[in-house]
A and B are shown apart, each in its own frame.
Chain A
């Protein structure tokens, strides 16, 4: 009997069944996809890091190195399994030419290495350890992705010719968020190009017990070993590798939650409409003694069938699409070990969607309990009334056109029904606005304030070179006489030791210089103003659990000195862990210096950059916009793509749901429509009434959606940005697009869809519907 009921019902309402099933399928597909992607991503990262034997602890170091002392340390420390020091030859980007393209404008620190012997292997695209021959060059995978190079290309490194033999996966530096990139050459070739650049050492350890990593870090720091450079640990490598695909998965997951909610709303709407229609029948069924659960079953069966159909369809779709989305993960990290487990988890995801829907329908049907049989049979309608709608009377309306009034009145009188449409429109507006605002924020020039960078035009990085201070003053001297430069300053980063609570020492990178020239925004407090003050990046402050006003102990010139935390700022560069201070320190252990300059005429930037680059070949000179673009270019681009996709998705959702709702409403309201027509209302009057219902609901939806986007959306987007090291986050909004164009786009699509959806009002015959 159930089968017949379901079949008849579905045949009668094909469009509604189809749309609902479509949303269920989309929700199921997305949930299943995110399950598959999560498992594959973590699997792929694990297998990449296992195959490559990524170091558990890496200390980068430039300057002199005492390998004997390091080897001793490694031998004595019982937790060290393996130890090695790799060389990383930093070569100026202008010296690297791949095919016919120079990397001169690249912001990555490109360098050369040989294949390591013990661990930290560079792998080919099959996950095998590369065995490189003389004359061959293996290029980091990201240059394959951005089509800078292809296999067989000629490459010229400082005059020496190579052939691009293939591409490599680097478990350390694959991610665009890591600023260094390793090229692989043979030992013989390496010896030949060694003179081209400066040496940086990668001091690497593999531990027996990874869980004791924190302890090892402290031991290393307090042992006073080589530490002129960043320290990176195994979990951080993992995070770096997971980040960009992880964000994609997070977005898919978020969208899938939204689509599930939309599917729920569609179900709720159709169900409520059906209950309204069947009110009398439900009352009769109750009156003749059918159990509540029996009545529920009739309705539940249909939705269980739709949910099952949608889930199966969604799963099939997810299997079809998964390869497309896995492409990037496969390229960067290779095949995952546990892909069959992923398929299984996908099924679990689907089942989750299915049961959620059944549970939801069951919840909506609880309303049956409240239906009084007597009332239902007598009136055939629910007697719940809301006073707001009651006060809104036609005979007191002097303002609105009668048709518009009737449209709005209907919305107010059937809040529950329109509430579902409203929810969908709120979600649509949210989906349109949040990615758009996020894109606008990270692509705006003010976003650099989250990077701990002031508002300047050109930055010159001097690092991995000898005599940084002399070289820096050479530039400064030249700048002094360059009147196209309006202001400039030099910021020098050095490593200091800091004493933490338990008495052990840790390294901290402090940027010294005048921080008042290009001020950055402080989340709390202000810039350091006196020698005894220090500002911490958000991540540093969090890790050291310091607030503004607290003191930290820094060892300067061998003496402990107490500095007060004057402010906390956002920084997403250098792993997010930096500090700023203004005390003077004459020691020569400079890690790098950055000269920042503002031009009197910004349009001259490119010209200036090439002039300075020619003159000071040791410095890496970049346009600040370019710097931002290259560091975050791929992220900005993905967010832009996502925001366009979001608009398209939201509009499709809006159109589909409006169409569904309007068709259902017209079908439900046949009788009222016939009455109105009998009373002399035209078809276009009816269209205006339905149009004003839709527009009224969408205006509320857009307002709520926009409010939500600017509050909850900002918090959500902020959570993502904060994980990079930004401390406070607020949207920078393009008002024209967010408050004018997007709402207009939504209202227009709602209106056009309503006109299409209510097309068949003209076909409703008075005589068929007012039967005596």
Chain B
């Protein structure tokens, strides 16, 4: 299967002099097209930093990241922006929406950067997506007028609108109650079934159990991995058990 991301020996450090610390210390990770991957690890293990590095949102100090054939360290700021806008989608833990725009505008924002003629088409597509994730009635609302779960769904719509090759999710359910989290995960599964690769950073074994590969991080490295069969809506408890067992095994 074709790899969409190849990350090799990634090093990323923060701080200066004595306080310098490698948050990523030779992490290597590959992600295949259409794959559903979770990254787990204790706080400070470098999960989010890894996601920022793989998506080109942060520069790296060592190693190599190849995204869909382009070496991110040799790509300029503008191309990097283009890549993020056209081939990647992002869903963050806190809803990262612009306060000045209503929900619909926030969703279509990245997709109409290049082409204003798309506005009508994208608005239609966005409305369809909103309907699919159950927030059809919120399009003219302000971001402060809706709940966290609703905002997260809007965030997913935004990530999906450009039909990206991969969606990065950094604790996308971290701020939600369990019902909302379940619903969000259902949406992710559905998206993945459509062929879009998804990489989630999470603490939650229940979230990781929905994916087909779980990578475990510790001290800036991938220390272990767990392969699961594609999730078909059954045996969720058994899958969660497998993930927690692995966590016990490697001590996180």
Q: Mark B116-136, 1 if CB is under 8 A from A, else 0.
A: 100110110010000000000
Q: How far is the CB of A468 from chain B (nearest CB, A)?
A: 78
Q: Does A681 contact B (CB under 8 A)?
A: yes
Chain B binder among A33-41, A292-300, A419-427, A763-771: A763-771
Query: Interface readout for B138-167 with A: 1 if CB under 8 Å, 0 if not?
Result: 011010100000000000001000000000
Q: Give the docked Cα–Cα distance between A379 and B52 (Å).
A: 27
B102 at the interface (CB under 8 A from A): yes
In whole angstroms, how far apart are the Cα atoms of A209 and B136 in the complex? 90
Report A-chain residues with C-beta under 8 Å of the C-beta of B213: none
Is A401 at the interface (CB under 8 A from chain B)? Answer: yes
Which A residues from 662 to 704 make CB contacts under 8 A with B? 671-672, 675-685
Say which residue of B48, B84, B99 sits within 8 Å of A680 (CB atoms).
B84
Interface membership of chain B positions 73-101, coded 1 if the CB is closer than 8 angstroms to chain A and 0 otherwise: 00001100111111010101110111111
* Range class of the A interface residue count: 35 or more
User: In this assembly, does A381 line the interface, its C-beta being within 8 Å of a C-beta of chain B?
Assistant: yes
The answer to whether A679 touches B100 (Cβ under 8 A) is: no
Shortest B19–chain A CB gap in Å is: 16
- Distance in Å from the Cβ of B207 to the closest Cβ of chain A? 14
Expressed in whole angstroms, the minimum distance between the Cβ of A447 and any Cβ of chain B is 50
Residues B119 and A395 in contact, CB atoms below 8 Å apart: yes
Does A393 make an interface contact (CB < 8 A)?
A: yes
Does B25 belong to the interface (CB within 8 Å)? no
Query: From residue B72, how far is it (CB to closest CB) to chain A in Å?
Result: 14
Contact B110 A383 (CB under 8 A): no
Q: Is A359 an interface residue (CB 8 A)?
A: no
A389 at interface by CB-CB < 8 Å: yes
A772 touches B100 (CB 8 A): no
Q: Is A4 an interface residue when CB atoms closer than 8 A count as contact? A: no
CB atoms of A682 and B77 under 8 A apart: yes
Of B144, B170, B171, most A-chain CB atoms within 10 Å: B144
The residue on A at minimum CB distance from B144 is A379
Closest to A379 in B: B144
Nearest CB to that of A684 among chain B residues? B78
Q: Who on chain B is nearest to A412 by CB?
A: B100
The answer to whether A681 touches B100 (Cβ under 8 A) is no
**Given A381-B144, A678-B57, A772-B171, A762 and B77 contact (CB-CB distance below 8 Å):** yes
A767–B96 CB distance below 8 A: no
- Known contacts: A410-B100, A677-B81, A767-B58. The answer to whether A394 contacts B108 by CB under 8 A is yes
Given known A682-B81, A772-B48, contact A395–B92 (CB-CB < 8 A): no
With contacts A681-B110, A685-B113, A767-B57 taken as known, whether A409 is within 8 angstroms of B101 at the C-beta atoms is: yes
Contact A394 B113 (CB under 8 A): no
Q: Are A393 and B110 closer than 8 Å at their CB atoms? A: no
Q: Is B63's CB within 8 Å of the partner chain A?
A: no
Which A residues, 326 to 344, have Cβ-Cβ distances below 8 Å to chain B? none
B contact residues around A682 at 8 Å (CB): 77-78, 81-82
Known: A401-B116, A765-B58, A772-B174. A679 touches B90 (CB 8 A): yes
Q: 1/0 contact trace for A366-392 toward B, CB 8 Å?
A: 000000000000010101010001100
Query: A381 contacts B99, CB within 8 Å?
Result: yes
User: How near does chain B come to A417, taking the closest CB pair, in angstroms?
Assistant: 12
B96, A395: Cβ atoms under 8 Å?
Answer: no
B-side contacts of A766, CB under 8 Å? 52, 57-58
| Contact (A394, B48) CB under 8 Å given A409-B100, A680-B86, A772-B174 | no
Contacts of B144 in A (CB 8 A): 379, 381, 383
The contact string, 1 if C-beta is below 8 Å from chain B, for chain A 740-772, is 000000000000000000000010011100101
- In the complex, which residue of chain B has the Cβ closest to the Cβ of A390? B102
Nearest Cβ in chain B — how far from A185, in angstroms? 80
Q: Within 8 Å of chain B (Cβ to Cβ): is A738?
A: no
With A and B bound together, what is the CA distance between A680 and B158 in angstroms? Answer: 12
Answer yes or no: B49 CB below 8 A from chain A CBs.
Answer: yes
Q: Would B86 and A675 count as touching, CB distance under 8 A?
A: no
B112 interface residue, CB < 8 Å from A?
yes
Instruction: Determine the distance from Cα of A682 to Cα of B88 in the docked complex, in whole angstroms.
Output: 15
A378 to chain B: closest residue by CB:
B144
The answer to whether A678 touches B84, judged by C-beta atoms less than 8 angstroms apart, is: yes
Across the interface, A402 reaches (CB within 8 A) one of B48, B98, B116, B142, namely: B116
**Which chain B residues border A383 with CB–CB below 8 Å?**
144
Indicate which residue in B49, B52, B105 contacts A395 across the interface (CB closer than 8 Å): B105
B38: chain A residues at CB < 8 Å are: none
> Bound state CA distance, A679 and B161, in angstroms?
11
In the assembled complex, which residues on chain B have CB atoms less than 8 Å from the CB atom of A765? Answer: 58
- Determine the distance from Cα of A385 to Cα of B141 in the docked complex, in whole angstroms: 12
B228 lies within 8 A of chain A by Cβ: no
Q: Is B187 an interface residue (CB 8 A)?
A: no
User: In the complex, which residue of chain B has the Cβ closest to the Cβ of A762?
Assistant: B77
Are A395 and B58 closer than 8 Å at their CB atoms? no
Q: Do residues B85 and A680 form an inter-chain contact, with CB atoms below 8 A?
A: yes
Q: Is A397 an interface residue (CB 8 A)?
A: yes
* A395 neighbours in B (Cβ, 8 Å): 104-105, 108, 119, 122-123, 126, 139
Type the 1/0 row for B209-237, where 1 means its CB is closer than 8 Å to any CB of A. 00000000000000000000000000000
* A546 CB, nearest partner CB in chain B, Å: 62
Q: Please indicate which of the listed interface residues A379, A402, A672 has the most CB atoms of chain B within 10 Å of its own CB.
A: A402
- Residue interface mask A578-604, B partner, CB < 8 A = 1: 000000000000000000000000000
The reply to whether the CB of A413 lies closer than 8 angstroms to some CB of chain B is yes
Interface centre among A395, A397, A685, A770 (most CB of B within 10 A): A395
Asked whether B90 lies within 8 Å of A678 as measured between CB atoms, the reply is yes
Q: In the assembly, what is the distance between CA of A766 and CA of B170, in Å?
A: 13
Residue of A nearest to B118 (CB): A402
A389 to B98, CA, bound (A): 14
Kindly name the residue among A680, A770, A772 whose own CB sees the greatest number of chain B CB atoms within 10 A.
A680
Contacts of A402 in B (CB 8 A): 109, 112-113, 116
Closest CB of chain B to A673's CB: distance in Å? 10
Cα distance A671–B143 in the bound complex, in angstroms: 15
**Structural contact, A398 and B58, CB atoms closer than 8 A:** no
A678 adjacent to B102 (CB under 8 Å): no
Specify the chain A residue showing the minimal Cβ separation from B168: A678
User: Given the complex, which residues of A lie within 8 Å of B139, measured CB to CB?
Assistant: 395
A681 to B85, CA, bound (A): 7
Known contacts A394-B109, A672-B98, A772-B170; is A680 also within 8 Å of B81 by CB?
A: yes
Shortest CB-to-CB span from A458 to chain B, Å, is 65
Cα–Cα distance between A400 and B144 once the two chains are bound (Å)? 26
* B123 contacts across to A, CB distance below 8 A: 395
Residues of chain A contacted by B78 (CB below 8 angstroms): 682, 684
Question: Assuming A393-B105, A402-B116, what are 13 further A-B pairs, CB within 8 angstroms?
Answer: A390-B102, A394-B105, A394-B109, A676-B109, A678-B96, A679-B84, A680-B88, A680-B113, A685-B81, A767-B52, A767-B58, A772-B94, A772-B174
A-B contact pairs, 21 of them (CB 8 A): A379-B144, A385-B142, A390-B140, A394-B104, A394-B105, A394-B108, A395-B104, A395-B122, A398-B120, A401-B116, A402-B113, A676-B98, A676-B109, A678-B84, A678-B90, A679-B84, A682-B77, A766-B58, A767-B52, A772-B93, A772-B170
The 10 closest A-B pairs by CB, nearest first: A680-B85, A394-B105, A680-B84, A679-B110, A682-B81, A413-B100, A395-B123, A766-B57, A767-B58, A675-B96
